[in-house]
């Protein structure tokens, strides 16, 4: 279920009436409760709008308000159950709702265009036979992590579509039951700042975490041995800005770490080191033909439109990118990826959206170095 999650955390705090209780229900189980509310929607061109909510826009389906909320749990938590009470909806007829248009490719590729139109028509046909869209006013994602912090993501759909009209659910109430075992509860200072931004209930759980000084290697560069010297000036400059920068040999990672593909070996290296080294930024210092991206398939139909090389595989380090085990990584709605990355991976351009490009168009080492300069401060004119 797709929903944009951007939006002010301050607003989220206003719409949430939250009781974060640690009630002992058995020897080890604990419970937290959450109450989410939404104001009455206003309509604009057939689109129900609610202040502070984003728009659910799946091609071929009605455009509806949606808001995602991330709820942090104590370190070492495992969710047992999430019970949701939605109450009685207010039903109203709002005329013909606006349908999200097809998401057409930016290039003039006939096959991609036809696939997008096929998906759009397929969703429209399914909508005609469904009783409610979405089927319920919430979606609970599988528990995920931001580094050592476990969290639950709740997506709230206050307005549901039915062939007879729209229904409005002004509130939902959640009860999350979980167990907690001993686990690393330390977070660095920058993680603490990000947690304040990410989690609607951070003020209720932050005292359960211990903030430590940023440590070790906050900026890691992965490059082939013969390119190390190309990064000398970048390392010196980053260190002068207060980072602790380390170049790591791509060849040694490939030799030391397990993985079916070299991209898996890079990710396993990062999984091993990002907490003990305190890694914040990762620069992949090589062309795609030197240091590979991971090939993912966001569309579970595995169409050519879905074939997507991405460096984001090296940023989201806590979740299983092939949780359904079919060897297609990153499938939307089938592989459980929380999309709250542990580190920031720097690369030039937008490779996650593209196909494997001709070598001449691939992100170059130099452009990735420039991206690294830009990542922290304005690019000085002499480096542009
Ligand atoms: Ca994560
Ligand atoms: Ca899969």
pLDDT tens figures, 311-337 = 999 999 999 999 999 999 999 888 988
Residue for token pair 């939605």: 86
| Residues surrounding ion ligand 1 at CB below 5 Å | 318, 340
Four-CA torsion 259, 142, 48, 170, nearest 10 degrees: -160
| C-alpha to C-alpha distances, 110 to 39, 45, 100, 102, 103, nearest whole angstrom | 43, 31, 21, 14, 14
Four-CA torsion 194, 195, 198, 200, nearest 10 degrees: -150
Least confident of 89-103, 127-141, 197-211, 296-310: 296-310
Answer positive or negative: Cα dihedral of 133, 135, 138, 144: negative
What distance in angstroms lies between residue 44's CA and the mean position of ligand 2's atoms?
39
* Helix ranges (DSSP H) in the chain: 9-15, 110-129, 189-198, 202-205, 232-240, 250-256, 262-273, 365-376
* Ligand positioned closest to the Cα atom of 336: 2
Helix (H, G, I), strand (E, B) or coil at 119: helix
* Ligand positioned closest to the Cα atom of 318: 1
pLDDT per residue as tens digits for the range 340-351: 999 999 874 334
β-pairing, 210-212 vs 149-156, is: unpaired
* Ligand positioned closest to the Cα atom of 339: 1
pLDDT score of 305 = 64
What distance in angstroms lies between residue 307's CA and the mean position of ligand 2's atoms?
13
What distance in angstroms lies between residue 224's CA and the mean position of ligand 2's atoms?
30
Residue 291 has pLDDT above 80, yes or no: yes
What distance in angstroms lies between residue 315's CA and the mean position of ligand 2's atoms?
18
Cα 282 to Cα 238: distance, rounded to the nearest angstrom: 12
pLDDT score of 235 = 87
The structural domains of the chain, with segments of one domain joined by +, span: 9-207, 219-383
Q: 257, 268 in Cβ contact below 8 A?
A: yes
* Ligand positioned closest to the Cα atom of 342: 1
pLDDT score of 326 = 92
Q: How many CA atoms lie within 13 A of 243 on its CB side?
A: 24
CA 324 to chain CA centroid, nearest Å: 18
pLDDT score of 137 = 97
What distance in angstroms lies between residue 151's CA and the mean position of ligand 1's atoms?
9
Q: Tell me the average pLDDT across 106-134.
A: 86
Q: 348, 375 in Cβ contact below 8 A?
A: no
| C-alpha to C-alpha distances, 161 to 54, 91, 264, 270, 279, nearest whole angstrom | 16, 10, 42, 43, 45
Q: Which residues of 324-338 are buried (b: 16+ CB within 10 A; e: fewer)?
A: eeeebbbbeeebbbb
Residues listed for the chain: 384
172 vs 218, higher pLDDT: 172
* Ligand positioned closest to the Cα atom of 149: 1
pLDDT per residue as tens digits for the range 240-280: 888 889 999 999 999 999 999 999 999 999 999 998 888 99
Of the candidates 298, 260, 381, the one whose C-alpha atom is nearest the C-alpha of residue 115 is: 298
Residue 13 has pLDDT above 50, yes or no: no
Cα 384 to Cα 364: distance, rounded to the nearest angstrom: 15
Of the candidates 178, 224, 170, the one whose C-alpha atom is nearest the C-alpha of residue 205 is: 178
What distance in angstroms lies between residue 297's CA and the mean position of ligand 2's atoms?
8
pLDDT score of 2 = 37
Question: Domain 219-383 adopts which CATH fold?
Answer: Rossmann fold (3.40.50)
pTM for the model stands at 0.79
What distance in angstroms lies between residue 62's CA and the mean position of ligand 2's atoms?
28
Residue for token pair 């929607």: 41
Q: Which residues of 134-167 are buried (b: 16+ CB within 10 A; e: fewer)?
A: beebbbbbebbbbbbbbbbbbbbbbbbbeeeebb
Domain 9-207 bears CATH identifier 3.20.20.370:
no
Helix (H, G, I), strand (E, B) or coil at 310: strand
What distance in angstroms lies between residue 294's CA and the mean position of ligand 2's atoms?
13
* Ligand positioned closest to the Cα atom of 322: 2
What distance in angstroms lies between residue 300's CA and the mean position of ligand 2's atoms?
8
What distance in angstroms lies between residue 330's CA and the mean position of ligand 2's atoms?
6
Q: Tell me the average pLDDT across 140-167.
A: 94
What distance in angstroms lies between residue 271's CA and the mean position of ligand 1's atoms?
11
* Ligand positioned closest to the Cα atom of 332: 2
Which residues on adjacent β-strands are paired with residue 139?
A: 155
pLDDT score of 230 = 85
């Amino acid at each position: 279920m797709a929903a944009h999650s951007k939006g002010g955390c301050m607003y989220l705090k206003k719409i949430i009436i939250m009781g974060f209780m640690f009630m002992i229900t058995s020897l080890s189980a604990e419970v937290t409760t959450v109450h989410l509310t939404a104001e009455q929607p206003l309509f604009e061109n057939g689109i129900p709008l609610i202040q502070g909510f984003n728009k659910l826009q799946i091609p071929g389906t009605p455009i509806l308000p949606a808001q995602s909320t991330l709820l942090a749990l104590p370190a070492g938590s495992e969710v047992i159950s999430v019970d949701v009470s939605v109450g009685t909806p207010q039903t109203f007829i709002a005329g013909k709702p606006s349908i999200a248009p097809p998401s057409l490719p930016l290039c003039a590729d006939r096959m991609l265009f036809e696939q997008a139109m096929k998906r759009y028509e397929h969703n429209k046909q399914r909508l005609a036979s469904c009783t409610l869209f979405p089927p319920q006013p919430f979606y609970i994602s599988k528990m995920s992590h931001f580094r050592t912090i476990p969290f639950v993501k709740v997506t709230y759909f206050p307005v549901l579509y039915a062939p007879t009209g729209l229904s409005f659910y002004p509130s939902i109430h959640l009860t999350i039951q979980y167990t907690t075992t001993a686990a690393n509860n330390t977070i660095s200072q920058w993680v603490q700042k990000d947690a304040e931004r990410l989690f609607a209930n951070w003020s209720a759980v932050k005292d359960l975490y211990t903030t430590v000084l940023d440590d070790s290697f906050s900026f890691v560069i992965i490059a082939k041995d013969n390119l190390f010297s190309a990064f000398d000036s970048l390392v010196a400059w980053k260190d002068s800005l207060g980072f602790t920068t380390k170049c790591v040999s791509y060849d040694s990672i490939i030799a030391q770490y397990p993985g079916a593909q070299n991209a898996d070996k890079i990710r396993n290296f990062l999984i091993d080191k990002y907490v003990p080294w305190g890694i914040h930024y990762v620069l992949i210092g090589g062309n795609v033909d030197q240091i590979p991206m991971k090939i993912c398939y966001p569309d579970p139909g595995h169409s050519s439109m879905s074939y997507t090389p991405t460096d984001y595989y090296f940023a989201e380090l806590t979740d299983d990118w092939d949780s359904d085990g079919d060897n297609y990584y990153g499938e939307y709605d089938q592989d459980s990826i929380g999309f709250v990355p542990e580190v920031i991976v720097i690369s030039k351009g937008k490779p996650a959206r593209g196909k494997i490009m001709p070598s001449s168009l691939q992100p170059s080492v130099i452009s990735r170095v420039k991206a690294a300069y830009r990542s922290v401060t304005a690019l000085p004119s002499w480096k542009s």
